[in-house]
């Protein structure tokens, strides 16, 4: 799924409860993260739930794997990965995530702690992009 498809899928739902369920469903489909990566090294600071984010640097892009101990947060990870996964470091740096979140309706419908956690994930992804060679 790409960003446009994600935005289109969100547009089909009439209320936040339906979107919330869709986010949880996205989390259920998230690629499993090997237990070996669920360590302090890969833990994202600033998230209410435990979130692990692991980059895989490829010649022309960065692929991310991740997981959380909370279903909704797993769905947020899936959304963040839809936006950033398999992009070059330069593409990651140029993404206007606020514009995308506005189209999805995430900003106004997540609790402040979930929103802060989501932004912590994004900052971590941008750090990886900044440090990519």
User: ∠ CA(40), CA(21), CA(103), 5° rounding?
Assistant: 85
Q: How many CA atoms lie within 13 A of 132 on its CB side?
A: 23
The CA R_g of the chain, rounded to the nearest whole Å, is 14
Active site residues: 47
Smallest CA-to-CA distance from 68 within 97, 92, 48 is with 48
């Amino acid at each position: 799924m790409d960003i446009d498809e994600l935005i289109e899928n969100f547009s089909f739902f009439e209320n936040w409860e339906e979107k919330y369920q869709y986010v949880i469903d996205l989390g259920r489909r998230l690629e499993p993260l090997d237990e070996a990566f669920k360590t302090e090294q890969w833990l994202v600071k600033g998230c209410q739930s435990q979130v692990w984010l692991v980059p895989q640097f490829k010649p022309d892009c960065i692929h991310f794997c991740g997981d959380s101990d909370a279903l909704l947060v797993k769905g947020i990870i899936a959304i963040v990965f839809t936006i950033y996964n398999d992009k070059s470091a330069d593409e990651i740096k140029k993404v206007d995530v606020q514009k995308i979140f506005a189209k999805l309706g995430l900003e106004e419908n997540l609790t402040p702690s979930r929103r802060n956690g989501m932004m912590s994930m994004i900052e971590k992804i941008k750090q990886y992009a900044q440090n990519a060679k």
